A and B are shown apart, each in its own frame.
Chain A
Amino acid sequence: MHIPDNYLSPSTCAVMCAAMIPVWSIAVKKVKDEVTKVKMPLLGIGAAFSFLLMMFNVPLPGGTTGHAVGGTLLAILLGPYSACISVTVALLIQALLFGDGGILAFGANCFNMAFILPFLGYFIYKFIKDRVKSEKGEYAAIAIGSYFGINIAALAAAIEFGIQPLLFKNAAGQPLYSPYPLSVSIPAITIPHLIVAGVVEAIFTVAIFAYIKRVSPGTIYEGAKQKANAIYGLIAALICLTPLGLLATGAAWGEWGADEIKDVLSGGNALGFVPEGMKNGFSFETIMADYAVKGLPDIAGYILSAVAGVAIMIILFKVLGSLKKNNAGNLPGQ
């Protein structure tokens, strides 16, 4: 998921960096308020920890190995704001010292792995954990949170790659940066994450959390009470993400208008294929595709799909919540 330099256009990198600046400043402020001075060094050591976690190869069925990122784990152990700073620093070291992930793409990489991954993972974990009080529920929350965290981060990276050929072309119509459209980049990046990396991340996060909870239970970050409503933050984050897609289609349509019809067709095909890759993981994107096929204006389709996505998410969590309640009610009777 580390995006190297020159795959993304400098303007995309600038936008991503600009998006990260408020996140960083809020994180710094929050950490200064929340984290006592005694715990401050833990941030650096947390960064070292997440850096090393990527060195551990976990065995996978089929004889391969994979490694975790640990963003959600750090968010659960240290709090999401601390995790944001820690992962940012780990990424900075990787970019500067190891050439892993680009300097210009640093903002984009941070957006995916230091912002989306820990915050989404943590909020999903917190949301489920607050509704399901049992210990099993907590582990399920960790597994689901970390799995979704890494997969949505991967999806974000795929979108960043995929919008490049739509937005940046030279006079001959050839893409200037990453040449693969969304139809290629999304399956190529998300499928390995859904099948391999997400599973590793979930297993590793749960296993380490269980170990730490058993050995040293006092270590785990409690979090402020008001974060119980974190799901609204999650929804806000998702809605914030949709303009990214809007940007992609909007600009692309503009360009096709000026270009040949052949390009329009290939572009149209590319857009039509998006849901194919997304079907695997993210339900609300397929609906977006349906709207697009029906011939609605793209912007309307996007906003509709965003609303639909939010609604589906809420319904999903409500159904999940009520199921859990039923289970909890059944337990004493059994």
Chain B
Amino acid sequence: MPEWLLKDENYIPQSDKDTFANKSILSLLSLLSRIRTQSGYKEDKFHVNAALKVTFTLMLVILLSLSRSFTFVVVIYVYLLVILSLMQGEEIIKIFRVSFVMAIFTFLILLPAAFWGNKHSSIMITAKVFASVTAVNILSHSTRWNSITSALKRFFVPDIFIFVLDITIKYIVMLGEFALNMLYSLKLRSVGRNKSKYTSLSGIAGTMFIKSKEMAEDMYSAMECRGFTGEYHIYNKFKFTFADFFYIMINICIILTFIYLGRF
């Protein structure tokens, strides 16, 4: 056995700043995990038609934004809380996390305005932001993504948008994993001080783009082989269920409340 192998070595790698790599890895990971929980198969909650859900969520956000009555905002809070209470614990935590972050961010931004004597609108806007973010998150957590795409088709959104949207959601995950692996390998390979680390960051992004181009070409040929012409057709007939009826009734009540309370 050669002698140098038997010698004890005490190599301490020089410390190097790599917070940016860690940060990128963390943000990519959180993104991927969120999409995975989204795209995994799950039952459509509440059995309400996705087109109705999208329509009425949009309506709710508009009404919230228009309303100047705090009572109306409170009514909406109660409604949203009731829906949330019907969902699973994990989902509730996820929804609340986003809403709280957004609301705190809004509150901080509006804090100086509150000192200028604008307390009412600061509180109103924070409350409204919290409610609308929660409403949108309830929609995205209770509806499968492909049903949202089919809902968009019903709203006469051009095929090209639906097509792009469809691909984007799938490929964020694929390209994200790809980028994540490259970031890992960059981190593993830079032991001690690595001066060319910053330049490799653009390499990662550039490779990601070239890879995405190859993927796009492969996918197109795969789709062409299967007879895809770029047009989307909805072939499930709209079935009006009791849940749909119930959902519409609730939303009519919300509109009536809005009218009753007035804008002021």
A contact set with B: CB distance below 8 Å: 4-7, 9-10, 13, 28, 31-32, 37-49, 51-53, 55-59, 63, 65, 77, 85-86, 88-90, 92-93, 95-99, 102-104, 170-171, 174-180, 204, 207-208, 210-212, 215-216, 219
- In the A-B complex, the 5 residue pairs with the smallest Cβ-Cβ separation, listed nearest first, are A44-B167, A207-B202, A211-B206, A48-B171, A179-B113
CB B69 to nearest CB in A, in angstroms, measures 11
Docked Cα-Cα span, A210 to B201, in Å, equals 12
CB B181 to nearest CB in A, in angstroms, measures 13
Q: Which of B164, B172, B204, B219 contacts A85 (CB 8 A)?
A: B164
- Are A52 and B136 in contact, CB atoms less than 8 angstroms apart? no
In the complex, what residues of A have CB within 8 A of residue B166's CB? 44
In the complex, what residues of A have CB within 8 A of residue B174's CB? 48
In the complex, what residues of B have CB within 8 A of residue A96's CB? 136, 139-140, 148
Docked Cα-Cα span, A9 to B125, in Å, equals 11
Q: Which of A7, A37, A89, A95 contacts B168 (CB 8 A)?
A: A89
In the complex, what residues of A have CB within 8 A of residue B122's CB? 179
Task: Find the B residue at minimum CB distance from A31.
Answer: B160
Contact string against A for B residues 79-119, beta-carbon threshold 8 Å, 1 for contact and 0 otherwise: 00000000000000000001100100010001001001010
Assuming the A-B contacts A104-B65, A179-B110, are A210 and B202 also in contact, with contact meaning beta carbons closer than 8 angstroms in the complex? yes
Q: Which stretch in B43-51, B207-215, B254-262 binds the other chain?
A: B207-215
Q: Which of B17, B31, B224 contacts A55 (CB 8 A)?
A: B31
Assuming the A-B contacts A51-B172, A58-B201, A99-B98, are A5 and B212 also in contact, with contact meaning beta carbons closer than 8 angstroms in the complex? no
Assuming the A-B contacts A89-B164, A96-B148, are A48 and B212 also in contact, with contact meaning beta carbons closer than 8 angstroms in the complex? yes
- Are B171 and A44 in contact, CB atoms less than 8 angstroms apart? yes
Interface majority SS on A: helix, strand, loop or mixed? helix
Interface flag for B142 (CB, 8 Å): no
Q: How large is the interface on B (under 10, 10 to 19, 20 to 34, 35 or more residues)?
A: 35 or more
Docked Cα-Cα span, A65 to B25, in Å, equals 13
Docked Cα-Cα span, A47 to B170, in Å, equals 11
- Are B216 and A175 in contact, CB atoms less than 8 angstroms apart? no
In the complex, what residues of A have CB within 8 A of residue B201's CB? 56, 58, 207
CB A125 to nearest CB in B, in angstroms, measures 17
- Are A7 and B125 in contact, CB atoms less than 8 angstroms apart? yes
Q: Which of B133, B137, B209, B215 contacts A4 (CB 8 A)?
A: B133
In the complex, what residues of B have CB within 8 A of residue A48's CB? 167-168, 171-172, 174-176, 212
In the complex, what residues of B have CB within 8 A of residue A65's CB? 19-20, 23
Assuming the A-B contacts A85-B164, A89-B161, are A102 and B132 also in contact, with contact meaning beta carbons closer than 8 angstroms in the complex? yes
CB A181 to nearest CB in B, in angstroms, measures 10
A-B contact pairs, 9 of them (CB 8 A): A6-B65, A57-B27, A63-B17, A93-B172, A99-B137, A102-B61, A176-B121, A204-B202, A216-B210
In the complex, what residues of A have CB within 8 A of residue B137's CB? 99
Q: Which of A59, A98, A178 contacts B34 (CB 8 A)?
A: A98
In the complex, what residues of A have CB within 8 A of residue B99's CB? 99
Docked Cα-Cα span, A31 to B206, in Å, equals 23
Q: Which of A52, A77, A85 contacts B28 (CB 8 A)?
A: A52
Docked Cα-Cα span, A65 to B26, in Å, equals 13
- Are B65 and A5 in contact, CB atoms less than 8 angstroms apart? yes
In the complex, what residues of B have CB within 8 A of residue A58's CB? 20, 201
Interface centre among A9, A31, A57, A170 (most CB of B within 10 A): A57
Contact string against A for B residues 31-47, beta-carbon threshold 8 Å, 1 for contact and 0 otherwise: 10011001000000000
- Are B121 and A77 in contact, CB atoms less than 8 angstroms apart? no
- Are B35 and A49 in contact, CB atoms less than 8 angstroms apart? no
In the complex, what residues of A have CB within 8 A of residue B248's CB? none
- Are A219 and B210 in contact, CB atoms less than 8 angstroms apart? yes
Docked Cα-Cα span, A185 to B40, in Å, equals 41
Task: Find the B residue at minimum CB distance from A36.
Answer: B220
Docked Cα-Cα span, A156 to B121, in Å, equals 23
Task: Find the B residue at minimum CB distance from A203.
Answer: B202
Docked Cα-Cα span, A170 to B120, in Å, equals 11
Task: Find the B residue at minimum CB distance from A57.
Answer: B23
- Are A6 and B140 in contact, CB atoms less than 8 angstroms apart? no
Interface flag for B251 (CB, 8 Å): no
- Are B61 and A28 in contact, CB atoms less than 8 angstroms apart? no
Task: Find the A residue at minimum CB distance from B122.
Answer: A179
Assuming the A-B contacts A177-B125, A179-B118, are A89 and B210 also in contact, with contact meaning beta carbons closer than 8 angstroms in the complex? no
In the complex, what residues of B have CB within 8 A of residue A180's CB? 113
Q: Which of B118, B160, B168 contacts A90 (CB 8 A)?
A: B168
CB A98 to nearest CB in B, in angstroms, measures 7
In the complex, what residues of A have CB within 8 A of residue B209's CB? 49, 77, 208, 212, 219
Q: Which of A13, A44, A63 contacts B164 (CB 8 A)?
A: A44
Docked Cα-Cα span, A105 to B168, in Å, equals 21
Assuming the A-B contacts A37-B230, A42-B216, are A179 and B121 also in contact, with contact meaning beta carbons closer than 8 angstroms in the complex? yes
Docked Cα-Cα span, A177 to B171, in Å, equals 37
Q: Which of B118, B139, B206, B220 contacts A212 (CB 8 A)?
A: B206
Assuming the A-B contacts A51-B172, A77-B209, A204-B205, are A97 and B35 also in contact, with contact meaning beta carbons closer than 8 angstroms in the complex? yes
Within 8 A of A (CB), among B56-72: 57-58, 61-62, 64-66, 68
Docked Cα-Cα span, A85 to B61, in Å, equals 24
In the complex, what residues of B have CB within 8 A of residue A37's CB? 220, 224, 230
